[in-house]
Amino acid sequence: MKSRAASADPADLPAFKVLLRARAEGRMPHAVLLTGPDPGALERAALRLAGVHLGCEDPASHPDCAVLRPAKKSRRIPLDAVQTVVASLRLSATGGTRAVVVHEPDRFQSEAANAFLKSLEEPPPGTLIVLQTANYYRVLPTVLSRCLRFHLPGEAPQVSDPAWADWLRDFDRLLAKASSPTPVRLTETFIPAYALCARFESLQEKLTAEALKASPSPPGDDDPEEAEAAHEESLRRAVRSRLLASVEERIRIFGRGRPDCSLQTSAAVVRLEEARGRLELNYQVLSALEQFMLQMLRAFARRHQATSAGPRG
C-alpha cells in the first residue's frame, strides 16, 4: 500500500493515518512492514507506531518493547537475538500490550528469520510487530508474506560533500573518454578508473566518520563495543548506498544523452548492481569497485572493436 505525500512528522503520513484508523476500529494488523527511500524517516515512523501501541513516548526504553537490529560488523540480525525476543514474548506484558521493532529485516540471518516466522505469523495477543527497511526487495519472501506493507514516500538523503561532487565530475569525464568515437589509450581510462576507486573508499570512510559524529550509537543491551561497531557499519552501509545511487544516476543521465551507447550504459548499471550485491556480502569495497569499473570499460572497448570491424560483406 503506497502513500502519496511526504512529511517530517510520521503522524502526518497517509499510511500512518490509515494504521491509526485501523487501530481505533480494532482492525490493526499484527505485523506491519514500513518501506521507503529514507532510512531515518522509516526508523522514526516505526518507533512512533510502537509508541502509539504501547501508549508511551519512548518505546525503545519501554519494558514491553523489544528491538531487533543488525549486530556486529557482519551487519546481520543474529539467531541468538531473535531467540531472546521470542522467549520474551511468552512472558506476561506489564501493560497488556507488547511491541517488537525490527530494523532492517533484510539483514536477517536465514536461521534467525526462520526462528522468527512463527511469532511473526501468530504473535501473542496484544502484540504489534513493526518492521522497517529501505531495502524492501531484499527481504525474504517468507517474511514479506506475513506482513502488511506500507510505503512511506520521500527521498533518500543526498550527499552534498564537495569532494563527492568532484568525484562525480571525474566519473563523468571517464564515461565521456570511454565512449569516445575514436579508440583511446588504456592509460587514459584504466588509470583514472583505479584512482576513482581509491577515492571512493576514502570518501566513504570520511562521510561515515562525519555521520558517526552526528548520530552516536543508540542505547541497547549489547556489548558497548559491539553495538558501536554495528552502528558504525550501519552508517557506512547507508553512506555507501547513497554514493552508489548517485553513481547509477550519473550513468543513466549519460545514457539518455548518448543513445548510441545505450547497450554499454545498460550493462554498466547491471554491473553496478552486481557490485552492490557483493558489498552486501561484506566484499571489500575497493575490489568490488575495481571489478565494476573494469567491466564497464571493457563494455565500451568492445563497442570500439565492433565499430572498427565494420559490416561484413
Listed by start position, the domains of the chain span 10-151, 162-309
Give the strand pairing for 98-103 and 148-151: unpaired
How far is Cα 39 from Cα 133, in angstroms, rounded to an integer?
A: 7
**pLDDT for position 8:** 61
Mean pLDDT (the chain) is 85
Fold of 10-151: Rossmann fold (3.40.50)
Instruction: In whole angstroms, give the CA distance from residue 178 to residue 303.
Output: 10
What would the pLDDT profile of 169-193 be if each residue is shown by its tens digit?
A: 999 999 999 998 887 787 889 999 9
Under the banding of pLDDT at 50, 70 and 90, the label for residue 70 is: confident
pTM for this model (two decimals): 0.67
Say which residue the cell 517474511 belongs to.
143
Look at residue 95 in the predicted model and tell me its pLDDT. Answer: 81
Enumerate residues 6+ apart whose C-beta is below 8 A from 196.
167, 170, 171, 174, 289, 293
Label residue 305 by pLDDT band (50, 70, 90).
low
Mean pLDDT over residues 2-7, rounded?
A: 42
Render pLDDT for 203-236 as a digit per residue (tens, 0 to 9): 999 999 998 888 776 655 556 777 777 788 888 8
Q: What pLDDT is recorded for position 287?
A: 94
